[in-house]
Amino acid sequence: MWEALLGFIISFAATFILTPFIARRHMDLGIVGRDVHKPGTPLIPEMGGLAIVISFTLSCVIVSLVASRYCLYMLTLLLCFLFAAFIGMYDDLRGLRPKVKVALTVLCCIPIVIAASLDPAAITLGRPILPLLGRLRLTIIYWALLPFAVAVPANAVNMMDVYNGVMPATCLIVSSALLVSGLILNKVSVVFMASPLIGSLAAYYYYNRYPARVFSGDTGSLAVGAAIGAMAVLSGLEMVGIVALMPHIMNAFHSLASIKGLLERREIKRRPTIVEDGLIKANPDPEAPLTLANLILSGGPLREPELVKCYVALSGVAFILAILTALLMEVTL
């Protein structure tokens, strides 16, 4: 499977080279955001996720050429990814209302529907595998839920991209869970799809880890989340994807439930956490949103690197559960 390895190498190298260049360029252009969890709230270049977008696109195109048997999977994944990236890019530069942004991410599943109609033998939808229950035939419910299969991961990953290194680290673990599960269940297509994303995230983490030298912006986080959702659907690993994304889903659920709806960050009057003497604490204000960070910090304040390690540890537990899910699916089949 040298083609998958090639996809990893290309995306890793391209992201590693492009990220500092894009960060410097965006700093010069004033495309910056404040790191509110640091003393003095320094300005950090935004939209660094553009490096992931360019690298992932290049890698997918090359893999499609050298591994033509998986061309349909790679191009469908790439279209979902780019659709979400453009939504995120517009939001970063011009701004979108929260409900409009979510509605647009729902449309990211369109390439999957088109691909399934073009080659239903290769991309079979509506037949998810459940542990201990086997393969289901969902002719109506599946199609009703399909738009959310890409939109939910995209927005959940976007909502988790708050602390240095959290997005690339946790999504690297989720993508690896899909890849390993694909090997267990002989879903070779997901190996080719996950390898470029893993390469980009591994390289990008170097620059986004604490103390971050670049922020992803919605351009990166929406695109990465959409790619994870699309990979799970295209490979028939929906249950594995749900389990692996459980920390992201929990974070999104608690946040939306606490603010009672969709709001843009600038519309939220109270931050979920506060920073004092370099320590991040849960905001005791009853109007502050509840997030996964609040649950973690309920045991006491932490420094940002320690808080990020907790996020990674939770994703590690979800990784193990996702692999166990894949093993149960393999036994069931």
For the ranges 136-140, 169-173, 199-203, 273-277, the lowest mean pLDDT is seen at 136-140
Q: Is 106 a member of any domain?
A: yes
Residue 165 phi, psi (nearest 5): 85, -5
pLDDT in tens, 46-104: 999 999 999 999 999 999 999 999 999 999 999 999 999 999 999 999 988 888 999 99
Q: Is 198 a member of any domain?
A: yes
Q: Is 271 a member of any domain?
A: no
Q: Is 48 a member of any domain?
A: yes
What domain range is 102 assigned to? 2-262+304-332
Q: Is 277 a member of any domain?
A: no
Q: Is 146 a member of any domain?
A: yes
Total number of domains in the chain? 1
pLDDT confidence bin for 277, thresholds 50/70/90: confident
Position 258 pLDDT exceeds 70: no
CA torsion through residues 233, 236, 238, 244, sign: negative
Tell me how far apart the alpha carbons of residues 98 and 198 are, in angstroms, rounded to a whole number: 28
Tokens 């950090």 belong to which residue? Answer: 44
Tell me how far apart the alpha carbons of residues 209 and 195 are, in angstroms, rounded to a whole number: 21
Q: Is 293 a member of any domain?
A: no
The answer to whether residues 274 and 281 touch, using CB atoms and an 8 Å cutoff, is yes
Q: Is 275 a member of any domain?
A: no
pLDDT confidence bin for 163, thresholds 50/70/90: very high
